[in-house]
Structure 1
Amino acid sequence: MIWNILRSESLEIQVPSSFTRETMYPFIRRAIDENADARCDRVIFDFGILSWIEPAGIVVLSNLFEYLIKRGAKVQIKNHTKNTETIRYLDDSCFFEHYLKKKVFPSSSVRPTTIPLHLVKKEKVFQFLECDLIPWIGGRVNLASDSLATIKMCLEEVYLNIDHHSEVKIGCSFAQHYPKKKLIHLVVSDFGVGIPTVVRRKLPDLDDKSAIFKACQEGFSTKSNVRNRGAGIPNLMRYVTLKSRGTVIIASGGGSVSAVEGDGKMKITPRSAAGFYPGTFVQVILRTDTLDQVAEDSQQEDFSW
């Protein structure tokens, strides 16, 4: 996997006023082309008009910073010191502390409704889930960590799947609890080669959305490795949609899939994306008012991998 920097010049990119999964594509396109090459070797990100950011936006920002830095590009930030709710949210989420090595506001601190930005390496996945993410989810919904064992197993496979399809060996992760909406949003992503590229090594005729759809089928795997047997993403989709009645969204390359519950069944829909995602993006939306059912099933079911 060889990435290039196309031009030796400066590029200024405006962070969108509303940074969501829907607005991430044009933002990414400003910095990276469809060959995953960086457009310039010095990129300045302007936070001046940012007024809303979702977990997806935080993870995409982090991925893009990590990608550019690893390619040798210089990354700078401007207009990020305004005392706005969104800038404070980013500061509380440890974004600026990670990339500027200091907080914007001395009083910033991690909010109890978030698991702040984490860069999760393959060898740290189990520790992150066991010590950080799962206890936090349990604490937010008053469930013991042990009762979320199935969710933990599925998420572990997803993090390792990201690593397998990534080949960059690191993923960015962020989680947010919305108590009033009774939802938890978890986003994990990388800027690696992406699912379609890896799947086409085995099935070369598939387009991007079909390749992602194939990767979501139980039993399909591009590796014989016991840690990548094709169980993680399908089982996560099944549990999130049918037990929690939540949603799973995956974007990679020029395609995406969404999994939701409908009439008691899981519905997986492949789509052509509104742009190009240079890696793999997974968003899990859990309904907190139904997580007790997931916990109950975890205690009853002998989950065989």
Structure 2
Amino acid sequence: MSEYILKVPSSQQAEDWFRFVKESLLHTENVDSLVVDFNEVRFMDTDDFVVLACLIESFHINNCDVSFIGGTNGFNNHLFNIKFKEYWKEGFDRAKFTLSHNQTTLCLWKISKNMIYSYSMYARKYFERFTKNKDLIPMSSNMDEVFNNIFDHSKSQVTGYIITQYYPKNNKISFSVCDFGVGIPASIENADLDNDEKYEDWKAILKSLEKGFSIKSTPRNRGFGLNNLLELTESSNGVLQIISNDGLVLKEAGEMYKAGNVAFDFNGTLVKVEIDLNTFEEKDETDEIFDF
């Protein structure tokens, strides 16, 4: 019996996490038992959780058992509340809603085609409970955009994961989406563009954020243009971070881009969005009355 131990980084440094992913993905085959070791992990952000979920999934699709060890007591309480350790048990359906014990966390979800719009709609309703009559349609529509792009462009064996967290102290929401696909740069390079220009990875990400830029594929998808995500960031006093292949783009509302190539060598795309709920418009009750 072959066993492999995933030693989850206890740091919050991106370099540590992507080095961990790259090394671990070399061992996904011929493993009967995967042991996820949280060492002395005390905290993981939304982006850490979706990256780790995709990594575990990369092993699990090859029919290995998954178990967990390590982690501080407080962190393990959080894992219990979001039911993280249940996701790879036999019979557990990761593509369906599994509500957390923690009301501020919307469940980790393995993205599936038949629930794209259901999840985003549920996320809207779920988190509107914490607002004073705010309308979170812009948040849910941007989730749809990212989900569709995963199916239409990523070519990812692991279809991707999302988790959404509400932070009551500052009234903010953070959601992160990850897949282990070909990445934004490869999607743009393979598109039928008007020119043969080759983009560095970070420039390809910036290209995908341009208004009107789109890689058209299926009728379901609104296009690969992620400009709506950028507009959400600006209008909600938020933060957008995209890492794809060797490219990284960070955009804070009202600030200049921070972008460049990094030595992550990450096969996939990680999108993290943070939004301020105080900035959203109030619901128009007349729209709801005449919505038919």
Shorter-chain TM-score bucket reads 0.7 to 0.9
Whether 2:211 is the aligned partner of 1:218: answer yes
**Equivalent of residue 158 in structure 1, options 122, 146, 161:** 146
Distance 1:292 1:101 in 2: 43
Whether 2:247 is the aligned partner of 1:258: answer no
| Residues 214-247 of structure 1 deviation map (CA, whole Å, 9 limit, x = unaligned) | 1111222222544444475201211222x21101
Following superposition, the deviation at residue 197 of structure 1 comes to 1.3
TM-score (norm 2): 0.81
Distance 1:139 1:24 in 2: 33
| Aligned amino acid, residue 134 of structure 1 | R
Provide closer, same or farther for how the CA distance between residues 221 and 16 of structure 1 changes in structure 2, counting only shifts above 3 A.
same
Report the equivalent of 1:5.
none
Asked whether the equivalents of residues 13 and 30 of structure 1 are also in contact (C-alpha less than 8 Å), the reply is no
SS at match of 1:53: coil
| Aligned amino acid, residue 124 of structure 2 | I
Following superposition, the deviation at residue 184 of structure 1 comes to 0.9
| Aligned amino acid, residue 155 of structure 1 | M
Report the equivalent of 1:3.
none
Which stretch of structure 1 is more off in the superposition, 94-103 or 279-288? 94-103
Asked whether the equivalents of residues 104 and 166 of structure 2 are also in contact (C-alpha less than 8 Å), the reply is yes
Which stretch of structure 1 is more off in the superposition, 41-50 or 113-122? 41-50
Asked whether the equivalents of residues 60 and 66 of structure 2 are also in contact (C-alpha less than 8 Å), the reply is no
TM-score (norm 1): 0.78
Larger strand proportion of the pair: 1
Report the equivalent of 2:170.
181
Report the equivalent of 1:289.
278
State the percentage of identical aligned residues. 26
Matches within 5 A, 1:190-209: 190-202=179-191, 205-209=198-202
Report the equivalent of 2:241.
249
Following superposition, the deviation at residue 174 of structure 1 comes to 0.4
Following superposition, the deviation at residue 109 of structure 1 comes to 5.3
Asked whether the equivalents of residues 208 and 224 of structure 2 are also in contact (C-alpha less than 8 Å), the reply is no
Over aligned residue pairs, what C-alpha RMSD do you find? Answer: 2.9
**Equivalent of residue 137 in structure 2, options 149, 155, 169:** 149
| Aligned amino acid, residue 46 of structure 1 | D
Distance 1:245 1:40 in 2: 43
Asked whether the equivalents of residues 212 and 225 of structure 2 are also in contact (C-alpha less than 8 Å), the reply is no
Distance 2:117 2:267 in 1: 25
Distance 2:133 2:263 in 1: 38
Distance 2:74 2:153 in 1: 35
Distance 1:41 1:204 in 2: 41
| Aligned amino acid, residue 151 of structure 1 | M
Matches within 5 A, 1:1-305: 10-19=3-12, 21=14, 23-32=16-25, 38=27, 41-42=30-31, 43-70=34-61, 72=62, 74=64, 76-80=66-70, 84-100=73-89, 110-130=101-121, 132-143=122-133, 147-168=135-156, 170-202=159-191, 205-230=198-223, 233-241=226-234, 243-262=235-254, 267-292=256-281
Asked whether the equivalents of residues 236 and 276 of structure 2 are also in contact (C-alpha less than 8 Å), the reply is yes
Distance 2:256 2:117 in 1: 29
| Aligned amino acid, residue 209 of structure 1 | W
Q: How many residues align?
A: 272
Asked whether the equivalents of residues 238 and 252 of structure 2 are also in contact (C-alpha less than 8 Å), the reply is yes
SS at match of 1:155: helix
| Residues 49-94 of structure 1 deviation map (CA, whole Å, 9 limit, x = unaligned) | 2121111111111111112222x263543424x6611111112112
Asked whether the equivalents of residues 20 and 56 of structure 1 are also in contact (C-alpha less than 8 Å), the reply is no
Asked whether the equivalents of residues 42 and 72 of structure 2 are also in contact (C-alpha less than 8 Å), the reply is no
Asked whether the equivalents of residues 201 and 245 of structure 2 are also in contact (C-alpha less than 8 Å), the reply is yes
